[in-house]
């Protein structure tokens, strides 16, 4: 079920008549992580929406007080929530997602519900084969204990520093951790980790659908969580689609690239692509 806040954002988008852009966050973040992106896109003629995952709290503080609300969320459950929101829009939106939000963005595009999509440092899906050592280390706080499949898991600052904030200085890393980090469900990581062993996995994308629309894949070259090897494997699969598929690498950028001091550079790359291809 959509929240009142999400329905109000949909009503606002429909009333504006502007092109909607839907932002999809990944693990360990909330929709508020997109606030600056929404403002930038609205300055450029779009209307922005950032629905949450089901049961997302409103604030970081509330999320840390009630971590249990994040538990057991699955990739398809979250995707269906965003598709429900998109179905209520008068115009087919552009969609932008980061990390597991990038995977969900490609699932949305794969069912023909996006008029242009951008996947930033996306989580892998079925068919993506590379398993870089740094990616396994980043995921280990969740994957090392099978019981985490049914739990919400928080990162320590040291884990966040390695997986997310390895290309910012210590002070900024601490600020990002304090300002943005929230618990995350373990289930999606287990789904992605076993996707190539499970033909029925929810962590799969229809990369061949001609209705997918234009897609941009953005890779942070220094990302330890979903490194360029994963993004290039995603590109190889998405290149099978007859639609436009583009790829951009941003040097010396880690997984925090959508929230750290360089966020606007990433946003401008996404904005330029969508302005070029979206109708």
Given phi > 0 = left and psi -120 to 50 = alpha, else beta, which region is 72? left
User: What is the distance in angstroms between the CA of the first residue and the CA of the last residue of the chain?
Assistant: 29
Compute the distance between CA of residue 199 and CA of residue 135 in angstroms, rounded to an integer: 23
- What kind of architecture, by CATH, is found in domain 4-277? 3-Layer(aba) Sandwich (3.40)
Per-residue model confidence as pLDDT tens for the chain (279 residues):
899 999 999 999 999 999 999 999 999 999 999 999 999 999 999 999 999 999 999 999 999 999 999 999 999 999 999 999 999 999 999 999 999 999 999 999 999 999 999 999 999 999 999 999 999 999 999 999 999 999 999 999 999 999 999 999 999 999 999 999 999 999 999 999 999 999 999 999 999 999 999 999 999 999 999 999 999 999 999 999 999 999 999 999 999 999 999 999 999 999 999 999 977
For the chain, count helices (H), then strands (E). 11, 8
Spell out the long-range contacts of 89-92 with Cβ–Cβ below 8 A and sequence spacing 24 or more.
89/10, 89/13, 89/14, 89/20, 90/13, 90/14, 91/19, 91/20, 91/115
pTM of the model: 0.98
Cα-based angle 102, 22, 8 (whole degrees, multiple of 5): 140
Q: How far is CA 126 from CA 98, 130, 217, in A?
A: 18, 11, 17
Contact 254, 242 (CB under 8 A): no
Return the closest-CA partner of residue 213 out of 135, 106, 54, 59.
Answer: 106
pLDDT at 1: 87
Compute the distance between CA of residue 138 and CA of residue 145 in angstroms, rounded to an integer: 14
Q: How far is CA 141 from CA 6, 69, 77, in A?
A: 31, 19, 23
Q: What are phi and psi of 264, to 5 degrees?
A: -65, -35
* 8-state DSSP, 242: S
Compute the distance between CA of residue 203 and CA of residue 106 in angstroms, rounded to an integer: 11
pLDDT at 90: 98
């Amino acid at each position: 079920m959509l929240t009142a806040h999400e329905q109000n954002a949909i009503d606002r988008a429909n009333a504006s008549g502007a092109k909607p852009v839907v932002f999809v966050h990944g693990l360990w973040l909330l929709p508020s992580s997109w606030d600056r992106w929404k403002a930038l896109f609205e300055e450029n003629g779009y209307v922005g929406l950032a629905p949450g995952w089901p049961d997302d709290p409103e604030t970081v503080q509330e999320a840390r007080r009630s971590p249990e609300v994040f538990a057991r969320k699955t990739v398809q459950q979250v995707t269906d929530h965003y598709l429900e929101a998109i179905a209520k829009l008068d115009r087919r939106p552009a969609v932008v997602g980061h990390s597991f939000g990038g995977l969900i963005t490609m699932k949305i595009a794969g069912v023909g519900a996006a008029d242009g999509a951008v996947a930033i440092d996306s989580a892998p899906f079925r068919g993506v084969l590379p398993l870089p050592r740094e990616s396994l280390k980043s995921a280990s706080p969740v994957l090392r204990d099978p019981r985490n499949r049914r739990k919400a898991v928080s990162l320590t600052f040291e884990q966040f520093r390695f997986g997310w904030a390895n290309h910012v200085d210590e002070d900024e890393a601490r600020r990002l951790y304090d300002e943005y980090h929230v618990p995350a469900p373990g289930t999606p990581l287990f789904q992605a980790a076993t996707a190539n062993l499970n033909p029925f996995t929810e962590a799969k994308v229809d990369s061949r659908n001609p209705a997918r629309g234009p897609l941009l894949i953005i890779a942070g070259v220094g990302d330890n969580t979903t490194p360029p090897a994963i993004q290039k494997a995603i590109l190889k699969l998405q290149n099978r689609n007859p639609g436009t598929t583009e790829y951009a690498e941003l040097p010396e950028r880690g997984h925090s690239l959508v929230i750290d001091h360089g966020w606007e550079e990433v946003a401008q790359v996404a904005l330029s692509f969508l302005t070029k291809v979206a109708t």
